[in-house]
A and B are shown apart, each in its own frame.
Chain A
Amino acid sequence: MKIPRALWVAGMAVTLLLAGCSKKQETAEETSAVPSEQPAGGTPVDPATAGEITGKVTFNGPKPKLAVLHMDQDPVCVQKHSSPVYAEDGEVNGNGTVPNAFVYVKEGADKYTFPAPTEAVTLDQNGCLYKPHVLGIMVGQTLHIISSDPTTHNIHPLPKNNPEWNQSQAPGAPPIDKKFARPEVMIPVKCNQHPWMRAYIGVVKNPLYAVTGEDGTFTIKGVPPGDYTVEAWTATWGTQDQKVAVSPKGTATADFTFKPGAGT
């Protein structure tokens, strides 16, 4: 949202205004231009030969102690929970597996065309937490934001590559539908009114992504045969890459093990 300095030096307010307008149009054009970014006449995926990538994400180290989230300031949030709520980032199961890791095909799938799905990805605000905590979405796909809480939230994604926005959603207000024009892993989402609330959105160019479940495992389906670089992302320990080869109708395995000290 920064305006070029040269314009300021000129001091021409009207010019600035135009800059503001043209910037807006630019964004709109980019959104509409997204499909054409895909290589023209790219290969469609043949479902008959597509395989899958599975694996699990583990953490090898002392299990981090998760802090209790203090929701005292908003009684609505407190009432939604009967027991203390712990921070979600850095969560590790007893057997060392890691839920809420984002795994996606980083390289190797560019030659295929993947039209953005028409169905939306839903992000719910429930108990003053985001459900899900980590989610993936395709460029141009709709993010459908709803609230199950009788309190006002604001949804504030903090992207580096996409336009920032920040919008309140009162109880009973209509859902908010948004799209992301450029790939970005990951976009943190924050509610400033409940600052502990955090979601991560992985915006990717293809549907070849998954989020590890409660048991720390994941499955990426519909992967056309070929060689890929797969990346796993965690909120606490950063990312890891791995090369995998998927044979026709085959299942490739990619396990990721994170160690303490890495990451942010």
Chain B
Amino acid sequence: MEAHAVATHAHAAPTGFIRKYIFSLDHKVIGKQYYFLALFSVVVGILLSVLMRWHLVWPDARIPLLDKLSPTGAPGGIMTPEYYLSLLTMHGTLMVFFVLTTAPQSGFGNFLLPIQIGAEDMAFPRLNMLSFWVTFAGLVVLLSSFFVGDGPPLSGWTAYTPLSAVGSVAGPGEGTGQTLWVISIALFCVGSLLGALNFITTTLDLRTRGLTLMRLPLTCWAWFITAVLALLSFAVLFAAGVLLLLDRVGGTSFFVPAGLVVSDQRIAHSGGSPLLWQHLFWFFGHPEVYIAILPGMGITSHVLSTFSRKPIFGYRAMVYAMMAIGFLGFMVWGHHMFVSGMSPYVGFAFSVFTMAIGVPSAIKTFNWLGTLWGGKLRLNTAMLFAIGFVSLFVSGGLSGLFLAQPPVDTNLHATYFVVGHFHLVMGVAAIFGMFAGTFFWFPKMFGRMMNETLGKIHFWITFVGVYCIFMPMHFLGLEGNIRRYSRFTDVNFLVPLIPLHKFMTIAAFVTAGAQFIFLFNLFWSMFKGEKATENPWEATSLEWTVPSPPPFDNFAGRHPVVYRGPYEFSVPGAPKDYVMQDAPEPVAAH
């Protein structure tokens, strides 16, 4: 594969529509393709969550048009429990894989990494194109499960075995739907592995002259470390997916133990281990949450520094903290399994590492605050979302400290406390990172500015909205409100909690509705926005030295040479309050 790519790299700008926009080798086009793939997925994912929230609090309500979408999943418009779980599975899978893994890393990373390191393109453009199209195929296969057999699987995005392994006898969607799910994930793994390989190689080998590792923008560091995590973890998920597929269609018994009786039917498997799946899955799954959040951290650092008009506080500490998160991220997967039947001694060891991983996260937070301290804050929309990121990351991160401790987790495991925790810290925080990135780099990507007024309205509703949705989940968790229930009417202690759920559902409706403001702003600005200059934010990294949008080969044959770090703002004695990375003139202080 590599041999094939050798030397086919240096490419001229294609002219045909297909080569230019569809099967493009240009990292900028591929980055936008990833971005729009994620945008489509997030719209579907939010729609699913709205339907779920609706059903949760008005379980007997007739949801308009839902019976048209799935006559068996919602007869008469009333959602069945199995359809709720199908939507839940699809929501989780879409969001985790096709949004959180895709947009911040493959979307922004593809568009910006080569420009920020002064390269013409990624190291392997053909692999890059392949990785997008494999990911696209994964999305198509996943969505196709809505239209075959009993619909999408109901085993959740974690697909715990044996529920996911024994076929349709275990529930609707566990036939064809679950098989399609596994294939989709396997495809996604392949796409991500190819992408990760490309990112790492590009960062290591294509940096321009003068751009030492410690002069990289923190975004590049984040993408690089994320790519390392992806390379090591997606291979394991792929292996797990192959084993699961063999259990499902090949009659093997990797994850299915002997003597199962499902719906009074004996299952002809023997000797497999359900915990093996959990170990393999979470060995991937925990690094995965850092894959989702690290690029957001990079974007936030970049945006905070730019609009504080200050160098990032503790650049090296930021880099080392990200490395530590990446490293420790591989040693904490067992904290998902405290009550799974895993050895309690092992569980405690995992908890120590998990608490330790809170340390680099705290370092990052302190450094962000340090960056704001003494700054000259320009509170535009991108900056607001970056500030929102810090707030949400703190809130969601701190609730992780409860779940990391086995005794405390005993009572909170599998409750809404967990749902609130990970939605805040890796869901909406990461999405706030994406919003910040979108407002920040939109001028570079599309050559026009986004509307600030609409952006701010969108920010305010979203920021308050997500707190109204996800903060109460922690309170529900205290009360023992179990997650993944399709209604709360059948367990006595859940019934008094329904009013709070109603509040959250209304907040979810409003917040989801506010996203139309963003979508409108995005597409309207693409065509009607104010034309962007080369460097509208007065930022310093290399992407702001090229036109907006950049030409096909980014630097038009020029070789930028880097003389300094990426966050040289408000340098005393400098003519302006920022100094470009490629500015050769000496600067008074350093």
Complex A–B touching at CB under 8 A: yes
A residues lining the B interface (CB < 8 Å):
1-3, 5, 8, 13-14, 16-17, 20-21, 23-24, 152, 154, 156, 158, 164-174, 176, 188, 190, 192
Within 8 A of A (CB), among B230-275: 245, 249-250, 263-265
Please tell me if the beta carbons of A20 and B176 are within 8 angstroms of each other in the complex: yes
Q: Given A1-B176, A5-B250, A8-B249, A166 and B171 touching (CB < 8 A)?
A: yes
Take A17-B144, A20-B148, A176-B75 as given contacts and tell me if A168 and B250 are in contact as well, using a CB distance cutoff of 8 Å: no
The total number of A-B Cβ pairs within 8 Å is: 91
A167 near B149 with CB under 8 A, answer no
Specify which chain B residues have a CB less than 8 angstroms from the CB of A168 in the assembled complex: 80-82
Chain B interface size, as a band, is 35 or more
Q: How far is the CB of A26 from chain B (nearest CB, A)?
A: 12
B325 to chain A, nearest CB (A): 33
Contacts of A176 in B (CB 8 A): 75
A158 touches B249 (CB 8 A): no
Across the interface, do B264 and A167 meet the contact criterion of CB distance under 8 Å? no
Name the 5 nearest CB pairs between A and B, nearest first: A1-B175, A20-B148, A168-B80, A13-B141, A13-B183
With a cutoff of 8 Å between Cβ atoms, the chain A residues found around residue B249 in the complex are 2-3, 5, 8
| Residues in B whose Cβ lies below 8 Å from that of A171 | 60
A168 to B150, CA, bound (A): 12
* Interface membership of B169, Cβ < 8 A: yes
Chain B residues within an 8 Å CB radius of A165: 150, 172
Task: Name A's interface SS.
Answer: mixed
Chain A CB within 8 A of B78 CB: yes
The complex places the Cα of A24 from the Cα of B151 at a distance, in Å, of 12
Q: Residue B184 contacts which of A13, A20, A158, A166 (CB distance < 8 angstroms)?
A: A13
The reply to whether B264 and A16 form a contact with Cβ atoms under 8 Å apart is: no
Q: Please tell me if B72 contacts chain A, counting CB pairs below 8 Å.
A: yes
Task: Indicate if B168 sits at the interface (CB-CB under 8 A).
Answer: yes
Given the known inter-chain contacts A16-B183, A173-B76, A176-B75, please indicate yes or no for A167 contacting B82, CB distance below 8 A. Answer: yes
Bound-complex Cα distance A141 to B180 (A)? 32
Say whether B203 faces chain A, with CB atoms less than 8 Å apart. Answer: no
CB neighbours of B183 from chain A (8 A): 13, 16
Question: B521 CB to closest chain A CB, in angstroms?
Answer: 35
User: Does B180 contact A166, Cβ atoms closer than 8 Å?
Assistant: no
B179 close to A (CB within 8 Å)? yes
Nearest B residue to A176 by beta-carbon distance? B75
Contact (A13, B137) CB under 8 Å given A3-B179, A20-B149, A165-B172: yes
Q: Using Cβ atoms and an 8 Å threshold, which residues of chain A touch B264?
A: 158, 188, 190
What are 17 contact pairs spanning A and B, CB under 8 A? A1-B168, A1-B176, A8-B249, A16-B179, A16-B183, A20-B144, A20-B148, A20-B176, A152-B490, A154-B81, A158-B265, A165-B172, A166-B171, A168-B80, A169-B75, A170-B60, A173-B76
Q: How far is the CA of A168 from the CA of B154 in the complex (A)?
A: 13
CB distance B150 to A166 under 8 Å? yes
Query: A164: which B residues are within 8 A, CB to CB?
Result: 168-169, 175
Q: Given known contacts A170-B60, A170-B78, A192-B263, what 6 new A-B pairs fall within 8 Å (CB)?
A: A8-B245, A13-B184, A14-B137, A165-B172, A168-B82, A176-B75
Partner of A13, one of B72, B187, B250: B187
In the bound complex, do residue A166 and residue B168 qualify as a contact, i.e. CB atoms below 8 Å apart?
A: yes
B167 within 8 A of A: yes
Whether the pair B263, A158 counts as a contact (CB closer than 8 A) is yes
Chain B min CB distance to A185 (Å): 17
| A5, A13, A156, A190: most-surrounded residue (chain B CB, <10 A) | A13
The reply to whether B167 and A158 form a contact with Cβ atoms under 8 Å apart is: no
Q: Which one of B137, B149, B171 lies within 8 Å of A1 (CB-CB)?
A: B149
- The distance from the CB of A107 to the nearest CB of chain B, in whole angstroms, is 29
Given the complex of chains A and B, what is the CA–CA distance between A170 and B78 in angstroms?
Answer: 8
Q: Which residue of A lies closest to B173 (CB)?
A: A166
**C-alpha spacing A249/B319, complex, angstroms:** 95
Smallest distance from the beta carbon of A1 to chain B beta carbons, Å? 4
Question: Whose C-beta in chain B lies nearest to the C-beta of A157?
Answer: B263
Chain B residue nearest to A198 (CB atoms) is B264
Whether A2 contacts B180 by the Cβ 8 Å rule is no
Cα A14 to Cα B138 with chains together (Å): 10
Interface string of B480-498 (1 = CB under 8 A from A): 0000000000100000000
How far, in whole Å, are A192 and B172 apart by their CA atoms in the complex?
12
Write the nearest CB–CB distance from A180 to chain B, whole angstroms.
Answer: 16
Query: In the complex, what distance in Å separates the CA atom of A198 from the CA atom of B179?
Result: 29
Across-interface contacts of A174 in B (CB, < 8 A): 75-76
Bound form: Cα–Cα A173–B61 in Å: 11
Given that A5-B249, A170-B80, A188-B264 are contacting pairs, would A17 and B148 also be in contact in the complex, using a CB cutoff of 8 Å? yes
Q: Provide the residues of chain A in CB contact with B78, threshold 8 Å.
A: 170, 172-173
- The docked-state distance in angstroms from the alpha carbon of A152 to that of B76 is 15
Contacts of A2 in B (CB 8 A): 167, 249
Q: In the assembly, what is the distance between CA of A5 and CA of B247, in Å?
A: 11
In Å, the complex CA distance between A17 and B143 comes to 11
Alpha-carbon gap, A166 to B144, bound state (A): 20
Kindly supply a per-residue 1/0 record for chain B positions 74-86, scoring 1 wherever the CB is within 8 Å of any chain A CB and 0 otherwise.
0110101110000
Contact (Cβ within 8 A) A166 B176: no
Give the chain A neighbours of B148 by CB distance below 8 A: 17, 20-21, 24
For residue A73, which residue of chain B has the nearest CB? B490
Report yes or no: A8 in contact with B76, Cβ–Cβ below 8 A. Answer: no
In the complex, which residues 144-197 of chain B have their Cβ closer than 8 Å to any Cβ of chain A?
144, 147-150, 167-169, 171-172, 175-176, 179-180, 183-184, 187
Q: Which A residues lie within 8 Å of B169 (CB)?
A: 158, 164
Contact assessment for A20 and B180 in the assembled complex, using a CB-CB cutoff below 8 Å:
yes
> What is the chain B residue whose CB lies nearest that of A12?
B183
Using A3-B249, A13-B141 as known contacts, say yes or no to A190 and B180 having CB atoms under 8 A apart.
Answer: no
Q: Complex: how many Å from CA A139 to CA B454?
A: 61
CA distance A2 to B165 in the complex (A): 12
Distance between Cα atoms of A17 and B144 in the complex (Å): 7
Contacts of A188 in B (CB 8 A): 264
- Collect the chain A residues with CB atoms within 8 Å of residue B59's CB: 170
